[in-house]
Amino acid sequence: MFNYQNLKKVLFLFNPETAHGIAELGLRILPNCRIINNYMVKRNFVMDHRLTQDILGINFPNPVGLAAGYDKNATMIKAMPALGFGCTEIGTMTPKAQPGNAKPRLFRYPEIKSVQNAMGFNNEGSAKVLSNLKKVYPFSIPVGANIGKNKTTPEEFALQDYKTLIRKFEDTSDYLVINISSPNTPNLRDLQNEKFITELFTMAKELTSKPIFLKIAPDMEIEAAINLCNTAINSGAAGIIATNTTIDYSLVPNAQDFGGLSGACLTQKSAEFFKEIAKELFGKTVLVSVGGISTAEETYKRLKAGASLVQVYTGMIFEGPSMVKNINEGLLELMERDGFKNISEVIGSDLK
């Protein structure tokens, strides 16, 4: 019987970026191995009407999605049901291909189930990603497109990068995500200001009717973050994704002094940040919680705090391909315990 913990021992012999490449190769091949793929879908994809939601006109079969950063070039979409995901987010893509930052740029902290990355939006560029997307879209689960500016694009021309990307991906995605919160592109987080956000979302709404989310960093002051989110919502954003990785290096002993931290080290910081955001924004917009989520209990807590969906990434590296199944099965048990008939009743129940 397949045992991920044994496979993980082998994968962890490789540097993290090489291991990711091996995993990507496996997931690209998986849909072509129909017997194995169908077995994994049957095993991991939890089909239960109690987990299904219609959000912004999009049907989500369960509330657990893959966060951006794992499938940068839209090469693994077809394998996502085999991992149990109810939606997936590709990217971050930039208009032009770029190699990202210098290596090494990805680091594991297995003892605390955390990762530090300074990838820098490495991707094959919007033309190649769009070509990959067209081969699979529309897909059986929602696909989001996470977009960002090129490293070489000056701040004053950033708006044009996002305009180019919205036009390219609006017809091949169910929703779009504006990424101005990665710590790995110089000065990108400087765009987390109300003037730029107003211009960006005003422009975006003129270009497309697809839902567009803003993804924010967990290192902002709460008041500033709430003001920024309100500006985005008032300018046309359909929702907020909180949060990206953190540059709070105190969370990990002997952390690198660059890049962003994710995984279990971020759980408390992300949960507390999201809770404060949700107190102000729940009911005004759609909220998605990300950061240190790997269990049904943590997912349930985020949903009750106001998240309609959660996204995971780092936890899967340590827990393996059964993680999403375990989350969804655990959610059903927690809902039954507390008398909830549908996941929609859970959303924001702590705030009602």
Active site residues: 182
Number of H helices, E strands in the chain: 12, 13
Q: Which two tokens stand for residue 167?
A: 């036009």
The neighbour count for residue 297, using CB atoms within 10 Å, is 12
How many residues would you count in the chain?
352
DSSP-based helix, strand, coil % in the chain, nearest 5: 45, 15, 35
Q: 124: helix, coil or strand?
A: coil
Question: Which residues, 6 or more positions from 59, have their beta carbon under 8 angstroms from its beta carbon?
Answer: 52, 53, 142
Assess whether the previous peptide bond of 243 is cis (omega < 30° from 0): yes
b/e burial code for range 63-78 (CB count within 10 A of at least 16 → b)? bbbbbbbbbbbbbbbb
Alpha helices, DSSP H, located in 118-254 = 126-134, 158-169, 194-207, 222-234
The neighbour count for residue 127, using CB atoms within 10 Å, is 12
